[in-house]
Structure 1
């Protein structure tokens, strides 16, 4: 209760849940990167979203790319219940010193 439900016109992002484990995150990266239109080179070394170099950040970046390309429907951000739709831009909302950052 009390959780805001995003409207279709509202800008939304798909990010990995903090509770997602490494296997889930790896599977999510593999799935998203195998979809047409998802450019995973951005999380490779030298790419604009390479830093910070942690699994949750890289997973969130490519999961969000997939979510955006697929039309931002909530079901495109399920990833076996290891992701969540947020209404705050994750690149601006997180403490850069201690939390993963979506930078893509």
Structure 2
């Protein structure tokens, strides 16, 4: 069985890069999951939204490491990155 992997934005990525990654990924895959009210729309931070979009792209392209590069602003993780809600 293949290990589950996810593609997320590097925490060091700047806002412009995150926005470019979000826009690119959503031009290639369906990002409706990010609409308000959907589980993946919170938290509403740009890094979270970009990570969700980048992961959708990565998953849809077969989870190859080259599908999670985004000009070296992403990384592959083996722990599910679902956001932990804070109180």
Counterpart of 1:81 in 2: which secondary structure?
Answer: coil
Structure 2 gap segments, 5+ residues each: none
**Whose helix proportion is higher, 1 or 2?**
2
Query: What's the RMSD between the two structures over aligned residues?
Result: 1.7
Q: Highest relative contact order (Cα 8 Å, sep 6+), 1 or 2?
A: 2
- Paired residues in the alignment total 87
| Structure 1 residues 95 and 41: CA distance shift in structure 2, 3 A | closer
Q: Give the Å deviation of 1:95.
A: 4.8
Q: Give the C-alpha shift of residue 97 in structure 1.
A: 2.6
Q: Of 86, 89, 104, which residue of structure 1 is paired with 2:80? A: 89
The Cα of 1:46 is off from its aligned counterpart by: 2.1
- Gap runs ≥5 in structure 1: 1-7, 99-104
Q: Which TM-score applies when normalising by structure 1?
A: 0.77
Larger radius of gyration: 1
User: Which residue does 1:24 correspond to in 2?
Assistant: 17
Mapped to 2, the partners of 1:95 and 1:50 lie a distance apart of 13
Query: TM-score, with normalisation over the residues of structure 2?
Result: 0.91
